[in-house]
Amino acid sequence: MRRLLLIGAGHAGAELLRRWAAAPRHDVELTLVSPDPLAPYSGMVPGWLAGDYAWEDCCIDGARLAARAGAKLIVDRVVALDAARREVSLAGGRVLGADAMVLNIGSTVRMPGLSEGRPPRVLPTRPLGALREAVDHLAAAGCASSREPELVGVGGGAAGIETLLALRRRMLQAGLAPRCTLLTRDTELLRGLNARARRLARDALARAGVAVRGGFEVQSLASRGLVGPAGPFQAADLVLWAAGAVAHAWPADAGLDVDAAGFVRIDSTLRSTSHPWLFAVGDCAACHPPLPKAGVYSVRMGPVLAHNVAAAFAGRALRDYRPQRDQLVLLNTADGRAIASRGRFAAAGRWAMRWKDAIDRGFVARYR
């Protein structure tokens, strides 16, 4: 009996499990290792943060999906890989071996250190489970120490904009009146989207009273604020950190071929360029040419991953993953509207939010 180890239950991994359930391989033992049986779908997390969804509404139930696929679920976290022995060590002390592995572990964030005093409370947006824990703790602690807290988002990408607007709405519903600022080290928001989409995002931030400070790269946390490299200061009571995806350290420590940022290099079939028995998908993978860290790419990797894992065990030809040239981007602006962007097209309205809601709910429902 050969062994397949799926590490992480992200978007592509969920599709592997769904297809495995439809066409199981009885000569392969499948094991899923995940720190939480509920895997959040990134597209719905801003809606949860704004109060539109319960957490369970925007999660794929990894336990049920694994059971349908005949897979064993281990609720734990991988902390190390021995590539020579094809074994992983878990935080709980167990060691698991496999003939093939799939890494679907996403990314994390690296926040600056403390320079002095009592720092603001920081909510990391990656991994998503950590965001939920931080928000739940914040709610239990009373959300804020003043009625008009300084809420600061760090990161000018989609995640930074959506989560800042969503948390602002949640705080308004709690009777608070946050003063909001978005910091970005770039001079432009949403670089990579068309000019109209960027303008619509700025309009949404302006309607919400969010000040935007471009060219501000945070160097350290300080007493009640954030400090830039040349000394500029931004007051903050609460910080949403959405700047830059950072790779988990243990794949590089194991000697896998990684890029300069530590993400696992893969070929066109989604296999590691140094260890072909290992596949990597989603944010933890480094394609050539590079792709944005966006859930839409992980979703499209799912069918290719499912085919290639089965083909590798059967000795058949593997398929190439070809990322879409233009991706549809739907940004929830937490006011009942969304921004839709693809290629040179961009528009905003309540219709876009209804469209986004239907797509997101449909995606999660596929795995129930």
Write out residues in the chain with pLDDT < 70, as ranges.
114-115, 117, 139-146
348-to-43, 74, 111, 133, 262 alpha-carbon distances in Å: 17, 42, 33, 31, 36
Would 2-108+246-314 and 121-243 be classified into the same CATH topology? yes
Q: What are phi and psi of 116, to 5 degrees?
A: -170, 160
Give me the residue label for tokens 């824990």.
Answer: 133
Give me the residue label for tokens 């391989």.
Answer: 25
Report the distance separating Cα 216 and Cα 88, nearest Å: 40
Long-range Cβ pairs for the range 156-159 (8 Å, 24+): 156/182, 156/183, 156/184, 156/185, 156/186, 156/188, 156/189, 156/190, 156/191, 156/212, 156/214, 157/189, 157/190, 157/242, 158/190, 158/294, 158/329, 158/331, 159/125, 159/242
Cβ atoms of 273 and 265 closer than 8 Å? yes
Neighbours of 141 (CB within 10 A): 10
Report the distance separating Cα 125 and Cα 131, nearest Å: 5
- 151: helix, strand or coil: strand
Report the distance separating Cα 239 and Cα 329, nearest Å: 25
- Domain residue spans in the chain? 2-108+246-314, 121-243
Architecture of domain 121-243: 3-Layer(bba) Sandwich (3.50)
Phi-psi region of 275 (alpha: psi -120 to 50; beta: other; left: phi over 0): beta
Q: What is the pTM of this model?
A: 0.90
The pLDDT value recorded for residue 196 is 97
Least Cα distance to 30 among 73, 74, 71 occurs for 71
Report the distance separating Cα 8 and Cα 114, nearest Å: 31
Q: In residues, how long is the chain?
A: 368
> Which residues does 115 contact at the CB level (< 8 Å), separation at least 6?
219, 220, 221, 222, 227
Architecture of domain 2-108+246-314: 3-Layer(bba) Sandwich (3.50)
Least Cα distance to 155 among 230, 237, 238, 212 occurs for 212
Helices (H), 218-316: 250-253, 295-314
User: Encoding tokens for residue 333?
Assistant: 């602006």
Handedness of CA 35, 38, 42, 48 (dihedral sign): negative
Q: Are strands 233-235 and 225-227 parallel, antiparallel or unpaired?
A: antiparallel
User: Encoding tokens for residue 122?
Assistant: 């920081």
Report the distance separating Cα 186 and Cα 312, nearest Å: 43
